[in-house]
Amino acid sequence: MLKHRVIPCLLLRNGGLVKTCKFGNPKYVGDPINAIRIFNEKEVDELMVVDILASKEGREPNYALIEQFAGECFMPLCYGGGIRSVEQAQQLFALGVEKVCLQTAALEELALVTQIAERFGSQAVLVCADIKKDWLGRRQLYAAARGKTVSRPWRTFLEECVAAGAGELVVNSVDRDGTMAGMDIELIREAAAALPVPLIALGGCGSLADIKAAVAAGASAVAAGAFFVFHGPHRAVLITYPRYQELETLLSAT
């Protein structure tokens, strides 16, 4: 078992697998079931699947599709998108999902985080905080479903999520999403220093060196999308994952 998890983050849009860049221009990259099978073969630590339209469109999770994912997954599966009640979370757990990831619902009412944590344990509920810089370079909390920044201070929101019962926090840099240009190390460092629970860093990973830098900055785990689905300067679609030995060597000294 690696000291730090390295997690592919797959984005769903209308049942297909897509990759965005700075939360826009979704590019179709294939069938999610096929991607899960490839990640199984590559012995991935954990898998995160997020439906990027469910909350925006006011939909529940696609339970039939998620059941297929859980049936294929050999690794722990985390699902996010459209979760607004304990009953929906319970249905997802019954299908084989191990963790649920909240964002829209957590921004609106943290009580749901508490309810899920009290019923299923804090390890079963994550909250994702999307962070976007404004025109002055100030980091703002971003509500992806509404496409708007939120006036609430982002560090305060992270602390409130932990107090509500979240077992892990995902901190995602909107400005780095899909760019593969390197992670926001300063953001990771600030978030990790403020959190007593594991931090999953997301956004901008383009190399093994980026993973190592994020862990050195305090991330307990690193999630990535484009890094695992694109290859080469022309961003050809090729689903990949580093060999276990590569990651072990990379992270053993961190």
Q: Give CA–CA dist 142/144, Å, rounded.
A: 6
Instruction: Tell me if residue 130 is catalytic.
Output: yes
44: which residues sit within 8 A by CB, 6+ positions away? 6, 7, 8, 75, 241
Measured CA angle at 19 (ends 249, 197), to 5 deg: 50
Tokens of 4: 């730090």
Residue 86: burial class (beta carbons within 10 Å; 0-12, 13-18, 19+): middle
DSSP 198: -
Cα gap 4→1, rounded to integer Å: 9
Taking a C-beta distance cutoff of 8 angstroms, is the pair 170, 202 a contact?
A: yes
From 51, 130, 177, 210, active-site residue = 130
How far, in Å, CA of 23 to CA of 26, rounded?
8
Strand partners, 236: 231
Rounded Cα distance, 84 and 113, in Å: 10
Distance CA 61, CA 55 (A): 9
Give me the active site residues, please.
130
